[in-house]
Homo-oligomer: A and B are copies of this chain.
Amino acid sequence: MIALLSGGVGGSRLAAGLYDLLGERLVVIVNTADDEVIYGLYVSPDVDTVLYTLSGIGDWERGWGIRGDTFSCNETIGRLGFENWFRIGDMDLAVNLLRTMMLSEGRSLSHVTEELARRMGLKCKVLPMTDHRVVTQVVTPEGPMSFQEYFVKREAKPEVLEIRRVRSPHERPAPGVIESLNSARAILFAPSNPILSVRPILETNGVEEAIRGSRAVNVAISPLVGGRALRGPADRLLRSFGYQSGVIGVAQFYDGLIDGLVIDRADADHEQVIRSKFGIEVLVTETVMTSRGAAKRLASEVLDFAARLGRVRD
């Protein structure tokens, strides 16, 4: 069994590649720190991106939402004079309506996610990191704003001074998360934003401890290509939070947690520095997943890399 810690776009693509190789032997543990209530709906962007991408209905290019979706509802909200910068497609709305409805009936987010995954025909487990609500606020020079206001409305452009997360002291990982980490042969960190997507999963009560205590081979896949994020602010945020720029910052972020790091050919210059400075193995390959086929190829290389590391360690 292989566990993947994932955010949205990049993570969901690698998840799809892994799913094509592993099927039900894959468990995806997904960031929910971006979740927000929008138009009264409980929106869980990373969970949906993973569900849509795995089930093949996702819009691969855009990286969110459902392929071929329309935006009649969203445009009508705008025509009625309400803010509509958070775009939810009409088909996407169905999923968000059903999720919100099931949550309001008292079901947990993990239960609802399992139900949605099943109805989309998925055989692997997709687990939200926790069933507890995590609220993220981003503090910028313009003041504090909600995560989606920062990320979607302001296109992640403002400088980030601080990220405030409100998490319940009673928070626990969702059912299955710790069990998966304990029994996984490999724990993979998806090419997602380390600060915005991976850290909130690691900060879920008990998750980092479970990873450190597991016998799994731990491998991270760098989200940077030539030192820059393909989309989103991963590179800027790593620097803002005191990490070195480029792929070295990624290695720093995962220092002590991983046995190996997968980096893009465009960052090959840093291979030796990472090996010697962090004492981990490095795989240099093509990490940009332009298609599901490319994702499957990368997933295969990552699994081979993890298997080699496992044998080396034994």
Binding site for B on A (CB under 8 A): 39-41, 66, 69-70, 72-77, 80-82, 89-91, 93-95, 97-98, 100-101, 104, 116, 119-120
**Are B76 and A91 neighbours in the complex by a CB distance under 8 Å?**
yes
Main secondary structure of the interface of A (DSSP, over half): helix
Across the A-B interface, give the 7 residue pairs with the lowest CB-CB distance, nearest first: A76-B94, A40-B101, A72-B90, A90-B90, A76-B91, A73-B93, A77-B94
Which residue in B80, B91, B120 is a CB contact (below 8 Å) of A119?
B80
* Contact indicator A80/B116 (Cβ below 8 Å): yes
A126 to chain B, nearest CB (A): 15
Q: Is the CB of B80 within 8 A of A97?
A: no
Establish whether residues B98 and A77, one from each chain, have CB atoms under 8 Å apart when the complex forms.
Answer: yes
19 other contacts beyond A73-B94, A74-B94, A80-B94, with CB at 8 A cut-off?
Answer: A40-B100, A41-B97, A66-B76, A72-B72, A72-B91, A73-B73, A73-B93, A75-B91, A76-B93, A76-B95, A77-B97, A77-B98, A80-B98, A80-B116, A80-B119, A80-B120, A81-B119, A90-B90, A93-B93
Least CB distance, A79 to chain B, in whole angstroms: 8
Minimum CB–CB distance from A96 to chain B (whole Å) comes to 9
Query: What are 23 A-B contacts defined by CB distance under 8 Å?
Result: A39-B98, A40-B97, A40-B100, A66-B76, A69-B72, A70-B72, A70-B90, A72-B89, A72-B94, A73-B90, A73-B93, A73-B97, A74-B94, A75-B91, A76-B91, A77-B94, A77-B98, A80-B94, A80-B95, A80-B116, A80-B120, A81-B119, A93-B93
